[in-house]
Amino acid sequence: MTILSNAAAPATVGLIGECMVELQQHADGGMRQTFGGDTLNTAVYLSRLCRCDGVVVDYLTAVGDDALSQAMRARWREEGVGDGQVRIVADRLPGLYMIQTDAQGERTFLYWRGESAARYCFDGSGADELLAALGDYQMLYLSGISLAILTVEGRQRLLDALRQARARGTRIVFDNNYRARLWPDAAHARAHYAELLGMVDIALVTWEDDVAVFDFETPEQLFNYYADQGVGEVIVKRGARSCLLQTADGRAEVLAEPVEQVVDTTAAGDAFSAGYLAGRLQGCDPQQAARWGHRLAGAVIQHPGALIPLNAMPSMPVLR
């Protein structure tokens, strides 16, 4: 069973967010520069997993007109991620972040993003074309970070456009990625999450993040809340532990695959989301799709940085 009603035509998926310049700090003090960002990571992995299956993956954001922004877009295209709906904000630059990892592979992030182009993606009349295009996609994916980085004006315009797109049949997927430093407080995040969840078809939820936003004490509370909001498919990600599912078929638990050596946990959750959606787009049921998510996340954390080499991509469990 696919998650889109018109399975005969190529699926069109738009991912909304911010791509940043990524600096990976090495033990000798050197730096490696690449690009990353939560929804961009998901877009790249989704494109890699679905490239042979007619799925069109676009990244929807704003960038500057500088050389780094141009190199960033060229990198997306190399990965099969379309940039035809990217807005150019001429007087802005990309955001930047640095990854520092400890001996256990756990990472610390340092960010420079306050004036990035993506923050102003949906502001002003220059955003009208991009906002109108949202309803042309069969599926739209965004995260808590996608919401948090926007201005007050841009965030509300995006929410209004998502509501209109869903009324036209677009399915909305939300990954709750919560970063406290991007919100005035948890109450602000909670209010905007709640507004969005009323439109969401699939929620990919990191347990610790929803605890921080909603003060849930048990998965039961989380599942009941999402059901009350009308979210039909909920996946709770719990790191190296099993993930939990709530769908029309009930609740289930899917074990994670063991990983011998964790090098860098950057983008593990983004990779899980990509694996899950790729599985669902290609006919997996939710439990099988969760296995795809676990498999990809397990491969990603065995390599440094957000995006692993193409030759490190794992084979996926066969469809059942």
CA dist 181 to 120, 244, 245, 275, Å? 18, 27, 29, 28
Residue carrying structure tokens 């709770």: 236
Looking at residue 166, its pLDDT comes to: 98
Per-chain mean pLDDT for the chain:
93
**Are the C-beta atoms of 297 and 275 separated by less than 8 Å?**
yes
List, for residues 270-296, the tens digit of each pLDDT value.
Answer: 999 999 999 999 999 999 999 999 999
Tell me the residue length of the chain.
Answer: 320
Say yes or no to pLDDT of 32 above 60.
yes
* Mean pLDDT, rounded, for 135-148: 98
Looking at residue 214, its pLDDT comes to: 98
List, for residues 208-265, the tens digit of each pLDDT value.
Answer: 999 999 999 999 999 999 999 999 999 999 999 999 999 999 999 999 999 989 988 8
Which candidate, 261, 308, 266, places its Cα nearest to that of 99?
Answer: 266
Q: CB within 8 A of 117, min separation 6: which ones?
A: 61, 62, 63, 64, 69, 87, 88, 89, 92, 93, 94
Entry pTM:
0.93
Say yes or no to pLDDT of 52 above 60.
yes
> Which domains does the chain show, CATH number per domain?
12-310 (3.40.1190.20)
Convert 276-289 to b/e letters by CB count within 10 Å (16 or more is b): bbbbbbbebbbbbb
Looking at residue 100, its pLDDT comes to: 77
Residues designated as active site:
270
Q: CB within 8 A of 175, min separation 6: which ones?
A: 38, 39, 42, 141, 142, 143, 144, 203, 204, 205, 206, 269, 270, 273
List, for residues 85-128, the tens digit of each pLDDT value.
Answer: 999 999 899 999 887 767 665 667 788 887 899 999 999 999 99
Looking at residue 30, its pLDDT comes to: 79
Say yes or no to pLDDT of 27 above 80.
no
List, for residues 161-193, the tens digit of each pLDDT value.
Answer: 999 999 999 999 999 999 999 999 999 999 999
Say yes or no to pLDDT of 6 above 60.
no
The DSSP output letter for 230 is: T
Q: Which residues pair with 93 in a beta bridge?
A: 116
